[in-house]
Structure 1
Amino acid sequence: MPSFTHADVELAYDVHGAGAPVLLVHGFASSGKVNWVDTGWVETLVAAGYQVITLDNRGHGQSGKPHDPDLYYPTQMADDAFALFDHLGFERAAVIGYSMGARIAAFMAFSHPERVACAIFGGMGMNLINGLTDGNDIIAGLRAPSLADLSHPTARQFRIFADHTGSDREALAACMETSRQPMARADVRRIGVPVLVAVGEADEMAGPPEPLAELLPYGEAVVIPKRDHMRATGDKVFKAAALTFLGRTYSNGPVS
């Protein structure tokens, strides 16, 4: 994967297809490949005529993996994404984030709405504001000597996922400490770009999508039937809703 350096962290990314750019921001303990390529998102968006950019967030995939929690606030990871915009030479793009990636997308849309044409928050409803209640259990699970020591279901789920992806578990624990920073309700009300909030019907980690969409000035919600947090990622209903939303809100392409 190509890479560049921002704020002393090497960041890996990939570019697929041609057309108006869409940045995909993956979730916690995942990567651009696992979250977006393996689930068919890149193929779907490229076929629809978009240029698709995947980024491995700091601490993940092939990017640098600092162990300092002070380097993982969502504002810093939002700045990484904008630095990638600059590196690739475009000013504006649509942004799709999942889970932690949706939180990053929210901070992007809040801080620089002129650079975010529209955004899709997948796997992130009202917990964008309320925070993640299982975060400390996930951290403990990542740092536990072995999976056998864990009984908390969410901690076990993320430990298994981290081991499956060959992740640096200490970097992920550091990331979890600060990347789950909630967004203030007043700031959510000031996000001035179109946003689609898409959450699985059985997703207990995200919080409900409808109240968040109601707070957003240009928000709308979609519930992904019969899917939990992990299984909603590549769902065909989610993809179809995203394509419809992009087609309606992102017709003017990049500004360069």
Structure 2
Amino acid sequence: MTLKFSKYHGLGNDFILIDNRHQSQPLVSQEDAVKMCDRHFGIGADGVIFVLAGEGDTDYTMRIFNSDGSEPEMCGNGIRCFAQFITELEGKEEIGKTYRIHTLAGLICPTIMGNGQVKVDMGEPQLEAEKIPTTLGKTGEKVVNESLIVGDRTYHVSCVSMGNPHCLVFVEDIEQINLNEIGSKFENHPVFPQKTNTEFIQIISHNYLKMKVWERGAGITLACGTGACATVVAGVLNERCDRISTVELPGGCLEIEWSEKDNHVYMTGPATKVFSGQIA
């Protein structure tokens, strides 16, 4: 059997997209997803995303397997690619069209903006320690600028969930951070019972931040949409940035707004098709 796919990327965070609407479970096992993501012996990607039929009053359901076979709750860059892939499946791109997507993180609503841009209502950030989850703070309390020993250093971290856990670290110069050395230590730290994504952030100005990311289940990636959202939330909580800010990642920039009006976080950025193909 051959399996058709399309490959997309959001600022270099790349995914294999599969039309899975006719079946309730992913067409590819987690083990096979690992093989497909291999950049030497497979297609190469940070994850495999499946477009399933919607549940309840949603239009579609999104499932994703990371390159290590784990299944995250959500992916910010991935859902932008998901939305653009839907327009490919439907055979039309309707500017201003908003889709209601069921994810393991709840309802997420991306809107097609045209010119490859997608704006996503990412919902409200979760800030209570137990909802992130982390044992770094007390139940019902925020985790903001708390001390955390990782390896032989003490870091000051803040924690945010955008449907998936994030640990945010503000530094003077992100170029001095060795992600290969420290990333997995943060991801697997015992204060994060479901592991964590980790972002290192340098403040350039009150509305411009630079970020590098170690993603849970994928390692170093060129971009992380939920991480960019969590970055601005943490920046506001630490009084380091505005609620509307640009986040520069290694793969490019995302525009993030943490709205005072509805407490939702909005992310706008590109989703680009690379190619389509089929694999045995």
With the shorter chain as reference, the TM-score category is 0.3 to 0.5
Q: Which has the higher strand share?
A: 2
Q: Which has the higher helix share?
A: 1
- Bigger radius of gyration among the two: 2
Q: Give the TM-score, by structure 1 length.
A: 0.34
Q: Give the TM-score, by structure 2 length.
A: 0.32
